[in-house]
Structure 1
């Protein structure tokens, strides 16, 4: 299936967006229990919102998520 033809509805809530990225990383890294959100708004996060380890090669992976306006989320 070609994913270029699919589009998600805009996500306005940053917590919902971070949770979606966390869930995607869980599948991508095949590590359901080892991917987590990093702190909460206002806490020192060193620009990492979601992190975990790849279950195959044990590399650390981190993501920074931004909601910059409706339909302009990026990670």
Structure 2
């Protein structure tokens, strides 16, 4: 599901939401410090692309957790991506 909304997510997500997502994914042990740091240094679009691709490679549970985070952190974006 994340792959199908990847380009829309990249275009629409805000930098503050991405940063909150990174923090929460780190707290939930979905990503590690090194992964967070490598994503955090990129431009907004590259940050969004890298985050989606990184999480997708971690499997269905991680992808599901990201979808839940999008719903929690940005309801409007979640509705726009039809994730709600």
- TM-score interval for Structure 1 and Structure 2 normalised by the shorter chain: 0.3 to 0.5
More helix by share: 2
Task: Give TM-score, length-normalised by structure 2.
Answer: 0.35
Greater relative contact order (Cα < 8 A, sep 6+)? 2
When Rg is computed on C-alpha atoms for both structures, the one with the higher figure is 1
More strand by share: 1
